[in-house]
Structure 1
């Protein structure tokens, strides 16, 4: 009788194996979602830090303009002749390369 009980418990899997699917899902989320998003944020910060006078930018709101003045936190953008707006640098969505045009044009 004792051999039957011990044989039943010896064939069962350890308790920690129930966590393996959860660990696997976390690893999949890390490599497919979190890590690429962190890389994009890092590239965006580098792009924003390199904004200089004369660059053509697109804001997060879709406004296209030319940078006239850059501070630590703000940038003045000329969006039309004689119309300048002061934007927070973090709201700049993209820097348009010279000679290029924004994606929505």
Structure 2
């Protein structure tokens, strides 16, 4: 009975009609055919989606903790020191007297002493 409610709520009406119209053996075949798909979905979640969410959360935390004077690496590979922090942009000094404005989304990682300190804490 519970499985029939599950079919009504979560499976398309075609599968639900199939389950009600046939006997229990056919219903078992339906479950056996859906099991590999569900297993693949669970494996994708734990091997791909969940680690990516963890990395994104850690990156967002790192961006929120940036301060003036921190050295960072942009996604394009440019390394510079933060000269000014605004809401969505940073002023980055890439050479003496040369500043560029970059969007916070373009930051790949920390660089230099602060990055070394953070890596030691996580180990």
Tell me if both proteins adopt one fold, taking TM over 0.5 as the criterion: yes
Aligned to 1:56: 71
Give the CA RMSD over aligned residues. Answer: 2.0
Gaps of 5+ in 2: 1-22, 117-123
Runs of 4+ in structure 1 deviating by more than 2 angstroms, as ranges, are 9-13
Number of equivalenced pairs: 93
Match of 2:83 among 55, 61, 68: 68
Pair 1:32–1:99, CA change in 2 (3 A): closer
Aligned to 1:82: 97
Q: TM-score, normalised by structure 2?
A: 0.69
Based on CA coordinates, which of the two structures has the bigger radius of gyration?
Answer: 1
Q: Which has the higher contact order (CA 8 A, sep 6+)?
A: 1
SS of equivalent residue, structure 2 residue 100: strand
SS of equivalent residue, structure 2 residue 48: helix
- 1:72, 1:20 → 2: CA distance? 48
Name the one with the larger helix percent: 2
